[in-house]
Amino acid sequence: MNFRNTFRIFIVMTAVGCGFVAPQAIEQNHDQNVAVPANEQEWTLLRTPFSTTLRGSTVFWAHDSAPEDMAVVVNASRNIRAAKGATVRWQQETLLPLQQQLLGVSAKIAEVQANENIRLSSVRREMTANWVEMRLKQALDAGVIVQSEFDDAMSVFSRYCEAKIWEFAASRAGADRFTIAQWSERPTPSQVCEGVYRRLGLLLPEANSCRDGQSNFMACIMNEGVAKTSLFRGNYENRIAGDVRSKAELLSSWIDSGTWSYLLQASNPERTKVATSLLKQTQPKPALFCRDFNTPSENLQTYCSIFVPDSGEPTDLPNSALDKMSPRFLISQLEDLSLSIGANEGGLAIAEHALLIAAARQDESKRILVKEIRELISAFGKRDSLAASMSDVLFNPVREVSALGVVKGVELRLAVPSVADIMRAGAGDEQKVLADLRLSQVELRAKIESAKSKLAEFDLAWTSALQAGAEAATKEGVSQAFAPKTELSLEFDGGILAVKWAISDKGDPIFSGCAGEGCGDGIASSVVEYDEVNHTLNFAIDASRLEASLVSLTTSGPRTDGFSLIRRELLEAAAGDVTIQLGRVSNEIIAGGTLVIEPEAGQEIRASMSLMQY
């Protein structure tokens, strides 16, 4: 065998080696088990325009800070967010639902009440409108009063009702509402008087200016009310020159031109002059209908003044003197229950036998009758100062509930037996529903008060957490600077997210930039990178601008308020990188982040920030 053959054999053996099969390792398990908890992750920030400012603090870690000390700050920061979250959660999950429930119950009450009022309205209206005459007839039938007393009482009552028209025309409750056309039907000066108005032909619904749906019932009140009262006719009608037709036309023209309203509501000398000229009255006196007229303001006078003849406040006038009484005086006499009709008291100055008052001084039955009538009249018709009357609230349908003035002493008025009788008239199951709803309303209000107290506790816990965080962050050796007035402003509109970041409330923001297509106009330093999946913002800052803010920190107060030990020369010409993580606690946006400045290779200034909405 020669060498060549041997070599061939070697080649063959090498070829055997070519059958070499590489080993295959057993595939190892790759756990994919670590999962990010899904809570609070699925939210979208840039969906609709919004603007918010997050506030908080930034701690610049000391180079030699111990992780254990830093952990205290991390924990404090977490506690702040937790406390804030608890506060917001309490607001959103407890207080707000209660408040919404209360709104719902209140709305339900209003709805039920409104429905009930509509249902009962006609019944009560009718009862109220005829109550005084009905009560007097009952007394007449029962022999408590005689026919002459009945007639006199009705006469006084009719004058009162006419005076209520004057009052309504002059009162703010009337004038304001006329101006803004709040009434959907012709308002009544007092529902108690509606029977009288029908009988005297005043404010009749058949009159054009008094029909439902008028945009302004001023003409109705003036033309079909004031102008037709005996008070007007007795004092003014004869003073206007010309025949009846021309007088009517003149009145009509005054109404159309607003002169009527102008005159009736004016009290300044210029208007007085005009009124004197027109009415040919030498010295008309304004009579104030407002009860609170001792110190009338100019505005109050404007609304409460009306030119009427006023014979002063006679204390002992004959019945025939009714024509001479001013509307205000007459109204006071009947509505002001403080004016007693006691046997030995002379305070009630109405005519001797008007509305049985003189007789009532000697007769207990008549006294009771007069008391009942005056209580009813007062309860429904009395307007204190600028307030509305109960008649306004119950019987004057307005387009907006809020347009009604406040009614004073509702409980007392409703407690008047005759009023209570009227209010109960026709009441059914709805009252039970209303009672239950009102009970719920009371309970909810109590719960809301309790929830607000608890909210105050949460607020206190949050404030304490903020304080603890500041103390931990400013502990010596932990930080080299602390910026307690860090702000991050975010504004999203038109597809662009504008970002401003500052660590001091003095001077311009350290960073002002934006994210989104077309933002920044190619200026690299103002561009923000926004990761909409993880809700992170990243931008670069010029550290020299940070330096300026740190200067303001140094001078802003003690260490706990803000301090800086950072060697500022390190910041010159250095760049910083800011990464901000946006998140949510109880649906409120919060932010945390880091600032990293590398003034020299291998040397870092690191800061952490925590921000939230407050």
Partner 1 sequence: MRYRFAASFWIIAGFALGAESTKVLPKGVRNINLKSVGVSLSEKTNSVGQPMELGAALEKDLTFQQIMSGESEGRAKEIEAFLIANGMSADDVAGTFTADLRGKLQVNAAIVSYGLNDTFTVAVAAPYYRAATDVSVGFVQKPAGQKFVTHLADPHHNQAASAADAAWKFNHAAEGLNNKLEKLGYARLGAWEASGWGDLTVASKKRFYQVGAISSAWTSGVVAPTGRVDDPNILTDVAFGDGQWDVFGQIAVDEQLNPRLFLNQYAKVTVQLAGQRNVRAVTSSEQLDVPTKRADFDLGDKVEWGTSLNYETAWGLTAIFGGNASHKQADVYRDTSGERLAVLEQDTEQTATQVEMGCGYSTVGMYQRGKTPVPFEVKGTWLRQIQSQNSPIAHAAIVDLNLFF
Question: Which spans of this chain sit near partner 1 (rule: CB under 8 A)?
Answer: 1-3, 6, 9-10, 13-14, 16-17, 20-37, 39-41, 61, 65, 67-75, 78, 81-82, 85, 531, 534-536, 581, 583-585, 590-592, 594, 596, 604, 606, 608
Q: For residues 567 and 549, what is the distance between their CA atoms, to the nearest angstrom?
A: 13
CB of 482 to partner 1, least distance (A): 16
Helix extents (H) in 216-326: 218-219, 230-235, 244-257, 259-265, 269-279, 298-304
SS3 call for 317: coil
* Closest CB to partner 1 among residues 544, 594: 594
CB of 21 to partner 1, least distance (A): 7
Q: For residues 173 and 406, what is the distance between their CA atoms, to the nearest angstrom?
A: 10
Start-to-end Cα distance in the chain: 100
Residues 6 or more apart from 143 whose CB is under 8 A from it? none
Q: Are 61 and 71 in contact (CB under 8 A)?
A: no
CB of 91 to partner 1, least distance (A): 17
- If you search the block for the tokens 């387009």, which residue do you land on? 399
* Closest CB to partner 1 among residues 132, 609: 609
* Closest CB to partner 1 among residues 82, 551: 82
Reading phi first (left if > 0) and then psi (alpha if -120 to 50, else beta), residue 426 is in left
DSSP assigned state of 503: S
* Closest CB to partner 1 among residues 56, 286: 56
Residue 350 CA: distances (Å) to CA of 162, 321, 323: 16, 10, 12
Q: Would you call 89 exposed, middle or buried from its count of C-beta atoms within 10 A (0-12, 13-18, 19+)?
A: middle
CB of 613 to partner 1, least distance (A): 13
Q: For residues 58 and 80, what is the distance between their CA atoms, to the nearest angstrom?
A: 14
* Closest CB to partner 1 among residues 463, 603: 603
Q: For residues 254 and 227, what is the distance between their CA atoms, to the nearest angstrom?
A: 11
Residue 50 CA: distances (Å) to CA of 46, 378, 544: 8, 55, 31
* Closest CB to partner 1 among residues 42, 521: 42
* Closest CB to partner 1 among residues 59, 153: 59
Residues 6 or more apart from 365 whose CB is under 8 A from it? 139, 144
* Closest CB to partner 1 among residues 41, 122: 41
- If you search the block for the tokens 């509702």, which residue do you land on? 410
* Closest CB to partner 1 among residues 13, 241: 13
- Find the helix or strand (DSSP H, E) in which 157 lies: helix 147-170
* Closest CB to partner 1 among residues 35, 524: 35
CB of 428 to partner 1, least distance (A): 53
Backbone angles phi, psi at 16, to 5 degrees: -60, -40
* Closest CB to partner 1 among residues 23, 522: 23
* Closest CB to partner 1 among residues 87, 171: 87
* Closest CB to partner 1 among residues 59, 275: 59
CB of 4 to partner 1, least distance (A): 11
CB of 28 to partner 1, least distance (A): 3
CB of 2 to partner 1, least distance (A): 7
* Closest CB to partner 1 among residues 117, 581: 581
Residues 6 or more apart from 188 whose CB is under 8 A from it? 194, 197, 203, 391, 395, 396
* Closest CB to partner 1 among residues 74, 278: 74
CB of 34 to partner 1, least distance (A): 4
What secondary structure does DSSP assign to 124-144, as a single string? HHHHHHHHHHHHHHHHHHHTS
- 3-state SS track over 41-82: CCCCCCCCCEEEEEEEEEEEECCCCCHHHHHHHHHHHHHHHH
Sign of CA dihedral 276, 279, 281, 287: negative
Residue 114 CA: distances (Å) to CA of 347, 459, 601: 41, 40, 77
Residue 528 CA: distances (Å) to CA of 29, 116, 344, 517: 40, 61, 90, 11
Q: Are 504 and 485 in contact (CB under 8 A)?
A: yes
CB of 567 to partner 1, least distance (A): 16
